[in-house]
Amino acid sequence: MKTAQTGTLVAAVVASGLMAGLFAAFAYAVMPGLRGTSDHTLVATMQGINRSILNPVFMLPFVGSIPLIVLAVFFAWRGHGRAALPWLVAALVLYLVAFVVTGAANVPLNDELERAGDPDSIGDLAAVRERFESAWVTWNIVRALLHSAAFACLVWALVLYGADRFSAGRAATPPSYETGTPLRTGPALSTQDGHEAGR
């Protein structure tokens, strides 16, 4: 069970970290980079990103983080590392809220942008951009902060879990004696000891 618990927690940290990094990169690099481009460039670029990102490499950690964190909570509740449990629960709540933000805010904006059609045939690109960009950027910052907070909670939970396992391992290890003098483990006595005992 310890091996499964450790593997689940590590996987949850990695998967949530990938998502925190992705959305944070959009917040501090991608969208600021597109801010100064033309309406056509922004609309075409975001349409292309929204189509290409729907792949297993994205979906697996994005959706898979949830059952991983749930399983990590279960293991902490049933097994070792109970000190990490509150942080795991906090990570789960934060991740779920971020997931809802994506589904309720960013995804509908992506869908609306896609329905606008080919940028070459859109009559008013500026209006399409205006309806999309500001709201999408705002909600992306919100989910980036939530995902980052969830990731931080999971990292700290992993630290606490590791400390708990280390303490448990030390407590289970018997003390060693390095005096250089062999211990007498049997009832036999040396001849000298026998003479001394008979005096």
Q: How confident is the model at residue 175 (pLDDT cuts 50, 70, 90)?
A: low
Q: How far apart, in whole angstroms, are the C-alpha atoms of residue 55 and residue 67?
A: 19
DSSP assignment of the chain equals: -HHHHHHHHHHHHHHHHHHHHHHHHIIIIIHHHHHTS-HHHHHHHHHHHHHHT-SHHHHHHHHHHHHHHHHHHHHHHHSS-GGGHHHHHHHHHHHHHHHHHIIIIIHHHHHHHHHT--GGG-S-HHHHHHHHHHHHHHHHHHHHHHHHHHHHHHHHHHHHHHHHHHHHHHHHSPP---SS-PPP-SS---HHHHHHHH-
- Residues comprising the chain, all counted: 199
- pTM score, whole prediction: 0.83
**Averaged pLDDT for residues 169-193:** 52
128-167 tens-digit pLDDT? 999 999 999 999 999 999 999 999 999 999 999 988 777 7
Q: How far apart, in whole angstroms, are the C-alpha atoms of residue 22 and residue 74?
A: 27
Q: How far is CA 10 from CA 48, 90, 105, 179, in A?
A: 32, 17, 29, 41
pLDDT > 90 fraction of the chain, expressed in percent and rounded: 75
76-95 tens-digit pLDDT? 998 777 899 999 999 999 99
- Name the least confident of 71-75, 103-107, 137-141, 190-194: 190-194
